[in-house]
Homo-oligomer: A and B are copies of this chain.
């Protein structure tokens, strides 16, 4: 029975009792057909010796095997692999190496095209500088504040309820604080019942798409636009109808033309710092858009993720704050206020839609992180969020100014851009036929990662020379170094193109 010893491998540091490790390894061997029904097993003393274990341990292992009826114990004969096991066709170890027989392909069919995403997360090389798509600086995230709130919550026995199941719609405290926050900062007056807490804007968009869209429905989006939103709508079976975006936002004449010739189910708009071009939808277009939605009865999804980040001018009040007809669904998040990785967002809508979204939320993941939500509620209530936003805005404004100055100084003639009045990124065009992809590649070779890989245009084949430079996550020194590299990369690209 050398075989058996070779199949059993024990690690005393594991949380599992050793006797159970032995029993489990034996069971694996039986199931793989390595130990056949009726095969004799070594006596406990022998096995204990060869495995260098206490005999009692092996006895318990055999008891376990007997209890689970994997072995027969014949008085004065010994222990044998049970005869009455279903006969599993044994396969050679080569086909399924020991300690893993798990197949890497399903036996049943899986449609590899069922879910399509243009790009997935890729970590930039360690130590690289990064012009991301527009993310906050995680180094200033008020993590200590969050942990302080966690501690406070944990210190009250009463709060253990936040560790149990809770409301699918999200923390009532947080929804109450948000209702205040929106009323104070956005002239948006809703009740907590109009709010559902989500995992960032992403989940809000997913819930909306799955609840409202049917196969073949038309959704109007700006082009260039936010590819992750388009993917969510497409996944729900919708057809994307792109309309142009100019310096005042999406072109509403194009929208009206579409409305006149077909039924529009939904329009997606980013009114502050349109992704990717960073333009703001002007007041006049906002009011006209509301009129169009009222006339043609489509839903406006207003993604106002950037409302709280303004430098030159103040933000314009949301469409939702002037919507008395129930046309607007208002979504946003705190992922940029705290950190992209702390997924907490919201969706505001009339109650008949909130009700459906809440049910779907239950089916998807039952509920959000109550502790995180309660912590956010406290941070909003005691003003920490407001204070942090003030600090962050000051810092990011400085970084925006530094980047724009550096781009002017070092790349003056070779690039064109408009200074964004808020947000986290600059939308820049390369001039003189410099190829953005070549620049990106050259920069990468010098330790600067550019771009999130996001496809900004609806038609991925469209030829353009724009790039989105997120400035918020780099400090002044890093920005200077990054622009230096960028300038050198552009020079090299010119050589290539010229």
Contact = CB atoms under 8 A, between A and B. Distances in A.
Interface of A: 11, 14-16, 20-21, 23-25, 27-28, 31-32, 64, 67-70, 85-86, 88, 91, 96, 99-112, 114-117, 120-121, 123, 135, 138-139, 141, 143-144, 147, 150-151, 154, 157, 160-168, 183-191, 194, 198-200, 202-203, 206, 211-212, 228, 231-232, 235, 265, 283-284, 287-288, 291, 293-294, 297-299, 313-314, 316-317, 320-327, 338-343, 349-353, 355-356, 358-360, 362-372, 383, 385-387, 389-390, 473
B316 A68 contact: yes
Given A25-B187, A102-B320, A164-B473, 19 more contacts: A15-B184, A15-B386, A68-B283, A99-B189, A101-B323, A101-B324, A102-B189, A105-B350, A106-B349, A107-B327, A108-B298, A120-B168, A139-B160, A141-B160, A162-B341, A165-B340, A166-B341, A198-B365, A232-B363
Given A86-B284, A107-B294, A110-B356, A164 B138 contact: yes
B86 A287 contact: yes
A368 B160 CA distance: 22
A336 to B, nearest CB: 11
A466 B368 CA distance: 31
Residue from A20, A21, A160 with most neighbouring chain B CB atoms (10 Å):
A160
A263 to B, nearest CB: 11
A103 B326 contact: yes
B360 A341 contact: no
A365 B368 CA distance: 11
Contacts of A363: 115, 117, 202, 206, 228, 231-232, 235
B114 A163 contact: no
A99 B183 contact: yes
Contacts of A341: 162-166, 367, 369-371
A106 B265 CA distance: 13
Given A108-B298, A135-B165, A199 B366 contact: yes
Given A15-B185, A200-B365, A359-B116, A350 B104 contact: yes
A99 to B, nearest CB: 5
Contacts of A349: 106
A69 B283 contact: yes
B67 A313 contact: yes
A287 B163 contact: no
A137 to B, nearest CB: 9
A317 B27 contact: yes
23 contacts: A15-B387, A31-B321, A32-B322, A67-B313, A91-B324, A101-B323, A102-B190, A102-B323, A104-B351, A105-B326, A106-B299, A108-B326, A110-B212, A110-B352, A115-B360, A121-B167, A138-B163, A143-B163, A164-B341, A202-B363, A206-B363, A235-B360, A342-B369
A341 B177 CA distance: 21
A92 to B, nearest CB: 12
Given A88-B287, A141-B163, A112 B385 contact: no
A190 to B, nearest CB: 5
A226 to B, nearest CB: 13
Given A68-B283, A340-B165, A385-B15, A211 B107 contact: no
B154 A117 contact: no
Contacts of A317: 24, 27-28, 31
A184 B14 contact: yes
Contacts of A194: 102, 104
Contacts of A371: 341-342
Contact of A103 (B141, B324, B342, B390): B324
A343 B366 CA distance: 9
A355 B106 CA distance: 12
A114 B211 contact: yes
